[in-house]
Amino acid sequence: MIVRKTPSELEKMRRSGLLVHEILHSLAAMVTEGLPTWDLEVAAVKMMEDAGAKPAFKNYFVAAAGERYRFVLCTSVNDEIVHGMPSTKRILRKGDIVSIDTGVSLNGYFGDSALTVAVGEISDQAKRLMRVTEESLELAIDKVREGNRLFDICGTVEDHVVSNGFSIVREYVGHGIGTQLHEEPQVPNYVDRRNENPRLREGMVLAIEPMVNAGRPEAKVLKDKWTAVAKDGSYSAHFEHCVAVTSNGPWVLTRP
């Protein structure tokens, strides 16, 4: 069941979304050559605690892993698509790209967002990968309008990514969000005609999150049971926003 939010609920989600935005952009400013990804985790924990927010990811149970996630961030470097775990041993190097994904619960409502950051000077292909992935998100956001359908969002991401020579990761998708981190509907970054194609209605909130590989689309999960990587070792980028359907068009809750 797709839960539509009232205006007052959207305002609560907005507060969560703005906190996630603040955290992510503070972390992005920290990214530099020689930084352990663990330092990002430590900073995020403090910001959440200072704001009185609960981390959305920490202790989240995932059946495929058979355990609860242990961190407030996912920090996915280079060929890591999603669910990369912060570590004192993972040191960022010049030429890397790192996707930072996080969420919070504030007063019972969730916010969730992600961005990908360059570490120093990166390759032209990596720059283009990041640009195309972020562009696909912005184009999809514009489709979050009452009366459109879910496939309008999914197809917009797919068309932009594929037309630019990159590939869509199919194993991981976006989602509805509200009083739960993951709600209906699923939001693939491609048109999956096996899924329902609901019409967008005022009050729906979608976490749209293109995950794009520079090479082939196939993913695999490492032995740590969490980290998903591109099978062919190519770089992967990830951007995400929570977007509400309103009578005035799309409202991105996770940025000012």
Contact call for residues 236 and 212 (beta carbons, < 8 A): yes
Question: Pairing between strand 97-106 and 61-62?
Answer: unpaired
Locate all alpha helices (DSSP H) within the chain, ordered by sequence. 7-30, 37-51, 124-141, 150-163
Residue range 83-106, pLDDT digits in tens: 999 999 999 999 999 999 999 999
Determine the topology of domain 7-252 in CATH. Answer: Creatine Amidinohydrolase (3.90.230)
| Long-range Cβ contacts of 86-89 (<8 Å, 24+ apart) | 86/37, 86/38, 86/40, 86/41, 87/36, 87/37, 87/38, 88/36, 88/38, 89/36
Q: What is the pLDDT of residues 110-136, one digit of tens each?
A: 999 999 999 999 999 999 999 999 999
Q: Write down the pTM of the prediction.
A: 0.97
Using CB atoms within 10 A of its CB, is residue 182 exposed (0-12), middle (13-18) or buried (19+)? Answer: middle
pLDDT tens digits, 224-246: 999 999 999 999 999 999 999 99
> What is the DSSP track for 60-99?
-EETTTTEE---SEEEEETTEEE-PPP-SS-B--TT-EEE
Q: Is the dihedral of CA 250, 137, 35, 79 positive or negative?
A: positive
pLDDT one digit per residue (tens) for the chain, 256 residues = 999 999 999 999 999 999 999 999 999 999 999 999 999 999 999 999 999 999 999 999 999 999 999 999 999 999 999 999 999 999 999 999 999 999 999 999 999 999 999 999 999 999 999 999 999 999 999 999 999 999 999 999 999 999 999 999 999 999 999 999 999 999 999 999 888 999 999 999 999 999 999 999 999 999 999 999 999 999 999 999 999 999 999 999 999 9
- Listed by start position, the domains of the chain span 7-252
Q: Of 40, 72, 46, 45, nearest to 58 (Cα)? A: 72
Nearest to 211 by CA among 120, 116, 92, 96: 116
- Residues 6+ positions from 171 with CB-CB distance below 8 Å: 219, 228
